[in-house]
Amino acid sequence: MIPSAPSSTREKIVSVQRLKFTYEGGVEAIRDVNLDIGYGEYIAIVGGNGSGKTTLAKNLNGLLRPTSGSVVVGGKPTSEQNVAALARIVGYAFQNPDYQLFCSSVEDEIRFGPTNLGYPDDVVHNNVEKAIEAMNLEHVRKLPPLSLRLGERRRVSIASVIAMDPQVLVLDEPTTGLDAEESSELMQRLKRLNDEGKTIILITHDMKLVAEHAKRVVVMAQGRILLDSDPRGAFSDHEILRQSNLEPPAVTQLAHRLAAYDIPRDIISPEELVFHLMKAIGGT
């Protein structure tokens, strides 16, 4: 099956060609992946555990180098750039914020990245202020990050990546362990960053999150891309989701059950379902 990429005339920031990646010890995590990502996209990489999504993401910022094939970031292959240089283009927020936090205040924590990259003082200062604002951390900026709640710790770790001002932001399972309110606030803030022109790559298996936020969905299973489309197209194909151990959002599953009553299968929001239901019962 050849995945069809949505037509995009935008310029590419990341281009993955015939990527294969095998871990030491012989586990083939990525078997054959082709993927182009344009400036300003909001893309979700979804798949079950062990599908290769995190390995793919680590190939984008040079933490892992292709076994064969190529990953081109910002016009240059990752094999010719070191991780620090790539961190200026691709920021990566790890799933567990506790892997990153070590400073005695939130401010210092956020300053760590841009200082490492050698940005001039005024740029560092500006970036830190912007990142604090973007992740709503003003009220805790002087506190030690490790004393904060998980939701706040995660926002600090994301802010510490934003402060390096990368064009691409990779977020690995950013909402795990957050409650509904924290999760929705974080997603709103990510949307704002996307509106400002940042490319967002969301790694997740929360399909509701994907339905509500992503503009493009890449479904992975066993180190390959099964499907590359908009969320609507991705959720209408239950067979592919099943192959990749994913569960469509409840509202889409309901729409499938109601297909006999002229309800379209590609519904991804409760509002849409209500609209079609009203139409079916003969309301306005």
Partner 1 sequence: MAAFVDLYTEADTFLHRMDPRVKIVAVLLLSLLAFLLSSLSYLLILLAFIFLLLFLARASLSRTKFALKFVLRFMVLIIVLWPIFDPSGSPVLASLGPIKITEPAIWRGVTSAARVGCLATVWYILMFTTSQRDLVRALVKMGLRFDFGLTLAISLRFLPTFGALIDSIKDAQRARGLELSKGGLVKRSRNYVAILVPTIVSALRTADMLSLALQSRAYGARSDRTYLRDLKMRASDGVALGVLVAAFVLPALAKYVFNIEM
Give the per-residue contact string, 255-284, with partner 1 (x = CB under 8 A; - = no).
Answer: ------------------------------
Please enumerate in sequence order all residues whose Cβ is within 8 A of that of 80, keeping only pairs 6 or more positions apart, or say none: none
Of residues 29, 42, 58, 106, which one binds partner 1 by CB under 8 A? 58
**Calpha distance 32→118 (Å, rounded):** 36
| Contact status: 46 vs partner 1 (CB under 8 A) | no
Q: String of b and e for 166-186 (b: at least 16 CB within 10 Å)?
A: bbbbbbbbbbeebeeebbeeb
| Contact status: 254 vs partner 1 (CB under 8 A) | no
Least distance CB 159 / partner 1 (angstroms): 11
Of residues 5, 143, 146, 258, which one binds partner 1 by CB under 8 A? 146
Q: For residues 256 and 250, is the Cβ–Cβ distance under 8 A? A: no
Q: For residues 124 and 156, is the Cβ–Cβ distance under 8 A? A: no
Name residue 62's amino acid. G
**Calpha distance 28→41 (Å, rounded):** 28
Query: Interface with partner 1 by CB under 8 A: which range of 65-73, 85-93, 196-204, 215-223?
Result: 85-93
Least distance CB 213 / partner 1 (angstroms): 23
| Contact status: 250 vs partner 1 (CB under 8 A) | no
Give the residues lining the site for partner 1 (CB under 8 A).
25, 58, 61, 63, 82-84, 87-88, 91-92, 94, 96, 98-102, 112-114, 116-117, 146, 160-161, 164
